[in-house]
Structure 1
Amino acid sequence: MIDVLFNHIQDKVSLTAADKETIQSFFTPKKLRKRQYLLQEGQVCKHLSFVAKGLLRTYNVDEKGLEHMSVFGWEGWWISDFNSFLSGDPAIFNIDAIEDSELLLISYDDYENLTLRVPIMDRYFRMLYQNSIVTKERRLMSSITHTAQEKYLKLAESNPEILERIPQNMIASYLGIAPETLSRIRKNLVAKK
């Protein structure tokens, strides 16, 4: 499990053998069964979670009981309610497993200590945060300026393999469209081929 994390880190920064040994000491493994919660709205998020295997989702539920997907996290992704993790405020998101999953967890204190003991990890996390901001800006702009079909096509182009693992109703929620609209889009795209 830890090798998946090391590979992800080394895609962005270089690690020594000593760095790896220190990094490993800060993480705790956790397994989730399909549909099991990692975090529920109202709890304080105590960990950043690295997905070594499986698929999770971050979402909230509105007053009508409708789920609104925010993020999907699969192998090589980090997942958390970041505001809650950083501030200690109650989480506004639920996080649960779409598939059986294996995670590596790090607490806030361990995260802070890790970045002090292995300074290259501070750079690694900064790169992740920068990429996350850019991704969220693009997603926001897409939700404002693109049609439902354009949003689906962009998602399919950037993550084709993941679409096969996520139920259609969750994809529709993530795109901010009705499941029936997504069905029509997919049907029309198949008919055009």
Structure 2
Amino acid sequence: MLEAFLDYLKKYSSAPISEDEKTLLARSFIPSKLRKRQYLLQAGEQCKQFAFIVNGAMRQYSVDDKGNEYIVRLGVEGWWMGDRESWVMATPSIYHIDAWEDTQMLLVTRGNVLELLKNVPAFNEMTCQLDERNNIANQRRLTSAISANAEKRYTDFAECYPELLERFPQHIIASYLGITKDTLSRVKRQLMQKS
């Protein structure tokens, strides 16, 4: 599984990775598996590990008092999952994170990440790029949520994340977009009629 992460790391960094750095990476990441619907994190727990998804699909969501789920993140191969606020602040999470499909992943603790940032230039470069992309994606999502209609939200999502449309059912996508499943069905019908 580490090979998948090393290939991923090379996409984000031009710095070569030495054998010593590979050894440190291998020591820092713990291979793990989740079965479908098994939790990585439950609300009330502290997020002590971040997961790099090697194979599978995961979702991060909150649940209100009535039992309604609100999807905040989706992830597939080559994506990271964890509650950053809980991880950084060492506070209880308000989110659940579970496997939507059987999932293989590499887990890393905050302490190990801090060590890798100091000792593996390629990891540091990757982290900076991912933080920048994450901030841009969050800003776009916030703008979309407060100003875009349902059709625009869906078309932007479909354009940016076509792989997620294939892996998650309509009710999960609707929740992620902040619309109902019926609204999403209507939007998709209207788009089909236009084409």
3-state secondary structure, aligned to 1:164:
helix
Q: How far 1:143 moved relative to its partner?
A: 1.1
Partner of residue 143, structure 1:
145
Where 2:65 maps in the other structure, the secondary structure is coil
Which residue does 1:4 correspond to in 2? 4
Residue 15 (structure 1) aligns with? 16
Amino acid at match of 1:3: E
Q: TM-score, normalised by structure 1?
A: 0.95
Q: Deviations over 1:20-45 (max 9, x none)?
A: 23212210011011111100000010
Matches within 5 A, 1:37-186: 37-186=39-188
Deviations 1:34-66 (A, max 9, x none): 111100000010101100111000110112211
Measured after TM superposition, the shift of residue 118 of structure 1 is: 1.6
* Cα displacement (A) at 1:117: 2.2
Alignment partners' CA distance in 2, 1:99 and 1:132: 23
Q: TM-score, normalised by structure 2?
A: 0.94
* Cα root mean square deviation, aligned: 1.2
Distance in structure 1 (CA, Å) of the matches to 2:12 and 2:125: 9
SS at match of 2:167: coil
- What is the identity, as a one-letter code, of the residue corresponding to 1:157? E
Which 4+ stretches in 1 moved above 4 angstroms? none
What is the rounded CA distance, in whole Å, between the counterparts of 2:6 and 2:94 in structure 1? 30
Q: How many percent identity over aligned positions?
A: 39
Tell me, in whole angstroms, the C-alpha distance in 1 between the residues paired with 2:107 and 2:119. 18
Q: SS where residue 156 of structure 2 aligns?
A: helix
The answer as to whether partners of 2:72 and 2:176 remain within 8 angstroms in 1 is yes
- The alpha-carbon distance between structure 1 residues 44 and 159, as it changes in their structure 2 partners (threshold 3 A), is same
Structure 1: runs of 5+ lacking an equivalent = none
